[in-house]
């Protein structure tokens, strides 16, 4: 009896997973860039090299090497990022953010040097 219940629960769980997968959004990569950030000797904010493109609606951000705080700004502005106001990003955990077209991003290292990999996306 317990085996039948466990199988039923497993099948229901798989069904929910399949339904969720069918509803997930698909994003097309448009461009990517890499920004290094660090603390040498003090932690300072780093602006990404290029503003996001005119077609960019979302960005995928992944950090390598160190945690950091990030902030996004609109076209023509410099985002302000501090430990108190920035979005905390752990290492090797991809995150998806909706951004302004032609916007930009700023990174503040938490305690060490690292690299941010930014992929611009559109639906």
Asked whether residue 82 is assigned to any structural domain, the reply reads: yes
Residue 6: predicted pLDDT? 41
Asked whether residue 117 is assigned to any structural domain, the reply reads: yes
* Beta-carbon-side half-sphere exposure of residue 98 (alpha carbons within 13 Å): 1
CATH code for the domain in which residue 50 is found: 2.60.120.1030
Asked whether residue 97 is assigned to any structural domain, the reply reads: yes
Give mean pLDDT in consecutive 10-residue pieces for the chain, a chain of 123 residues: 42 38 73 92 88 95 95 91 94 96 94 94 90
Residue 10 near residue 80 (C-beta atoms within 8 A): no
Asked whether residue 1 is assigned to any structural domain, the reply reads: no
What is d(CA 79, CA 77) in angstroms, rounded to the nearest whole number? 6
Asked whether residue 95 is assigned to any structural domain, the reply reads: yes
Asked whether residue 98 is assigned to any structural domain, the reply reads: yes
Q: Which residue has the tokens 């503003």?
A: 51
Asked whether residue 108 is assigned to any structural domain, the reply reads: yes
Asked whether residue 34 is assigned to any structural domain, the reply reads: yes
**Domain region containing 118:** 26-122
What is d(CA 34, CA 62) in angstroms, rounded to the nearest whole number? 10
Counted domains in the chain: 1
Residue 43: predicted pLDDT? 85
What is d(CA 81, CA 83) in angstroms, rounded to the nearest whole number? 7
Residue 26: predicted pLDDT? 82
Residue 24: predicted pLDDT? 65
């Amino acid at each position: 009896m317990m085996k039948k219940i466990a199988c039923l629960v497993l099948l229901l769980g798989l069904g929910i997973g399949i339904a969720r997968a069918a509803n997930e959004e698909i994003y097309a990569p448009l461009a990517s860039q890499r920004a290094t950030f660090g603390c040498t000797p003090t932690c300072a904010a780093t602006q990404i090299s290029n503003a996001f493109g005119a077609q960019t609606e979302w960005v995928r951000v992944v950090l390598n090497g160190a945690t950091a705080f990030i902030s996004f700004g609109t076209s023509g502005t410099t985002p302000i990022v501090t430990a108190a106001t920035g979005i905390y990003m752990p290492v090797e955990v991809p995150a998806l953010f909706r951004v302004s077209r032609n916007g930009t991003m700023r990174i503040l290292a938490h305690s060490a040097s690292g690299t941010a990999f930014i992929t611009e996306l559109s639906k």
